[in-house]
Amino acid sequence: MKKHNYSAGPCILPQEVFEKSAEAILNFNNSGLSILEISHRSKDFVAVMEEARALVLDLLGLTGKGYQALFLHGGASLEFLMTPYNLMTKAGKAAYLETGTWAVGAIKEAKAFGETVVVASSKADNFSHIPKQYTIPADADYFHCTSNNTIFGTQMKSFPETEIPMVCDMSSDIFSRVIDFSKFDLIYAGAQKNMGPAGVTLVVVKESVLGKTGRTIPNMLNLQQHIEKESMYNTPPVFAVYASLLTLQWLKNLGGIPAIEKINNAKAELLYAEIDRNPYFKGTAAKEDRSVMNATFLLEDESHTAIFDEMWKAAGISGLNGHRSVGGYRASMYNALPLESVQVLVDVMRDFETKISS
């Protein structure tokens, strides 16, 4: 039976990425060696790294605009502290928008480096919406936001105008929609949400914002050091970078971000229409802030949980349970999830309605 993978991360990737990755594990570039065993300094892998870094900037529309793309270790969570290390001055401060669990984590790390101002928060409402009215201090060293919140199913539909550097954690919606990425001075994203396997983190940074903190930064946490060493200051996660390159190539061949945005919107519209129509389900996020990537919803009557769970599992659906901290259901519709899989879930929800109503 075909599986329909709604996992929030590590998540679904294009089938051709699995196939090409599998081939490379056995024999990479007809070298007789596996991608798992080649030297990261070999000509073949250096070419992979160079193409991946260039393709990131190409897809984001940032080529030739003073940005560098890096593939690093540590997950997006390490960027929680690398961001203030590289951008917050010794006597300065940073401004943060608190919209979910990952924003809370980023704020906690920033506080260890200096004054950290939370300009707005939706915590009191269980992060069910994105704050709209807030003021960003003009004297802050940077402003940090999280574009999409996987746990609570909210997404920023627009971004503030500010003269200070803007940082964004785009772990769960990067490459999914058209944005003016030049608005941001630093973008980071764990690959395992929408770009590749777990084990590598993408960082895109405008070089002009670096080197101004007055801090002594450990080399492994210094973005300038990683730029100087062309994203290979230490041994990179070779396989994860390669699989990410394959995913980026797939996206480029599909038509890039404008093409995938249309597909993603169609998937989200199909599922949210059913959530709103079906009397046995209810969404958890404010409608104007609903995430295109992660749809969160509940049963109106939790006594029907066992029945619904049995039905979606029987249909080959996987990973639909909500995050352990909030419960309910979460349908993660990342780039590689086909519209067909969303239709299967919608059909199950309709069959469930018929079953309960009869």
| Residues tagged active-site | 102, 169, 193
The one-letter code for the residue type at 200 is: V
Tokens of 93: 């401060």
Please count the residues of the chain. 358
Helices (H) and strands (E) in the chain, counts: 9, 14
Q: Say if CB 37 and CB 229 are below 8 A apart.
A: no
- Cα–Cα separations (whole angstroms), residue 107 to 153, 167, 172, 258, 285: 20, 13, 18, 32, 22
Q: Say if CB 79 and CB 105 are below 8 A apart.
A: no
Contacts of 255 (CB under 8 A, 6+ apart): none
Sign of CA pseudo-dihedral 248, 102, 180, 212: negative
* Sheet strands (E) in the chain: 4-5, 67-72, 93-98, 115-121, 143-146, 148-149, 154-155, 166-169, 186-190, 201-206, 281-283, 294-299, 317-318, 329-332
